[in-house]
Amino acid sequence: MKKFLNDPVDFVDEMLEGIYAAHPMVTYANDDLRCLVTAKPKAGKVGLTTGGGSGHLPTFLGFVGDGMLDGAAVGGVFQSPSAEQMYQVTKAVDQGAGVLYIYGNYSGDIINFDMAAELADLDGIAVKQVVGNDDVASSIVGEEHKRRGVAGIFFIYKAAGAAAAEGLSLDDVARVADKARSRTRTMGVALSSCVVPEIGHTTFSIGEDEMEIGMGIHGEPGISRKKLAAADAVVDEMMERIFKETSYAAGEEVAVLINGLGGTPLEELYILFRRVKQLLDARSVKAKHVWIGEFATSMEMAGASISILHLDAELDRMMAAPANTPFFKHVTG
């Protein structure tokens, strides 16, 4: 294991100390570093919170700020935060208009967010939940409720954040977030494993000349392992599965997210986008909003994912809205 760290036990908390030192727009609640919240809550606005394991920056912590989330609870690397931590974040971000939970479809997170919502209810805080499940490789059509939430959750954050900034009600913010969820599809590919600091060795093995299509962000099995192919062929295989699930009519528009998993050079991500745009152009579908970079990583895993959000007029407006967070800034005009 080659990493810049001190004691592996302190990895998450020292990372958080660095974030707070670098970004005064965020702070923490209940004297707990792992309960990150905005330093400038806006009165009367619906609160937006997320959470999950560390090891995925910018998800979850990096999207707390203006025009996006208001709080995030995190656990150890690839470990869910506790219900109490989620509850403390909920209390800190509630401004009287209720709180929306947005998180990935993982059993530990579901259990703990449900418990946090029950605690919030006892305090009279209205809570709604939207669970990201964009990973098409993790379950078949008709059983989308079993799918994992991966990088496409960014689109839910962006849509919900813009809706809340517009002053919409909790019901309407949840509706917009759920629409973004239902219209997002993601496919990923992994080229290497990663190392959890407290474990000290790779979490799985993959050959130097192999790739795994559909692997999850914690190393969950994908749908096929094969020899590494040329970039265009890899994108073609990934996009084929996305196209099978969503009918894009000529003239329609999408948002595209090309996400690096932590160990992939930006240059390679742009090569992937080049092919994605060629495939969209061939169907006369416009890539109106495009983001390329690291949005949901898996430590130093080499690999990437492609997320496509099928836009309508409302979601187009939400994607275009300004945002300012430690790890994501979107300027309009």
Strand partners, 74: 52
Cβ of 209: how many Cβ atoms within 10 Å? 9
Confidence band of 141 (pLDDT split at 50, 70, 90): very high
Residue 285: partners with Cβ closer than 8 Å, 6 or more residues away: 248, 250, 251, 252, 253, 254
Average pLDDT, the chain: 96
Residue 279: partners with Cβ closer than 8 Å, 6 or more residues away: 235, 236, 239, 243
Confidence band of 247 (pLDDT split at 50, 70, 90): confident
* Cα 161 from chain centre: 13
d(CA 246, CA 277): 16
Give the pLDDT confidence of 63-77 residue by residue, as tens digits. Answer: 999 999 999 999 999
Average the pLDDT over each of 20-24, 74-78, 95-99, 198-202 and give the range with the smallest value: 198-202
* Cα 79 from chain centre: 15
The pLDDT of residue 217 is 87
Confidence band of 215 (pLDDT split at 50, 70, 90): confident
At residue 300, the 3 state secondary structure works out as coil
Q: What mean pLDDT do residues 236-263 have?
A: 96
Confidence band of 203 (pLDDT split at 50, 70, 90): confident
Give the pLDDT confidence of 16-49 residue by residue, as tens digits. Answer: 999 999 999 999 999 999 999 999 999 999 999 9
Strand partners, 289: 255
Q: What mean pLDDT do residues 197-221 have?
A: 89
Nearest to 89 by CA among 159, 173, 166, 31: 31
The pLDDT of residue 220 is 84
Given the DSSP bridges, would you call strands 184-190 and 210-213 parallel, antiparallel or unpaired? antiparallel
Q: What mean pLDDT do residues 117-128 have?
A: 98
Q: What mean pLDDT do residues 223-246 have?
A: 96
pTM, full prediction = 0.97
Give the pLDDT confidence of 250-277 residue by residue, as tens digits. Answer: 999 999 999 999 999 999 999 999 999 9
Assess whether the previous peptide bond of 8 is cis (omega < 30° from 0).
no
Nearest to 291 by CA among 279, 305, 281: 305
The pLDDT of residue 174 is 98
For this structure, is 23 an active site residue? no
Cβ of 58: how many Cβ atoms within 10 Å? 19
Query: Which one from 23, 145, 201, 218 is the annotated catalytic residue?
Result: 218
Nearest to 224 by CA among 260, 181, 187, 250: 187
Percentage of the chain beyond pLDDT 70 is: 100
Confidence band of 333 (pLDDT split at 50, 70, 90): low
d(CA 244, CA 236): 12
Query: Which one from 23, 56, 289, 310 is the annotated catalytic residue?
Result: 56
Query: What amino acid is encoded at 142 in this protein?
Result: G
Q: What mean pLDDT do residues 151-178 have?
A: 98
Given the DSSP bridges, would you call strands 99-104 and 286-293 parallel, antiparallel or unpaired? unpaired
Tokens coding 95 = 């401004």
- Let me know: does 135 contact 108? Beta carbons within 8 Å: no
Provide DSSP, 241-256. Answer: HHHHH--PPTT-EEEE
Q: Which helix (H) or strand (E) holds 56?
A: none
- Let me know: does 326 contact 65? Beta carbons within 8 Å: yes
Cβ of 146: how many Cβ atoms within 10 Å? 12
For this structure, is 201 an active site residue? no
The pLDDT of residue 181 is 98
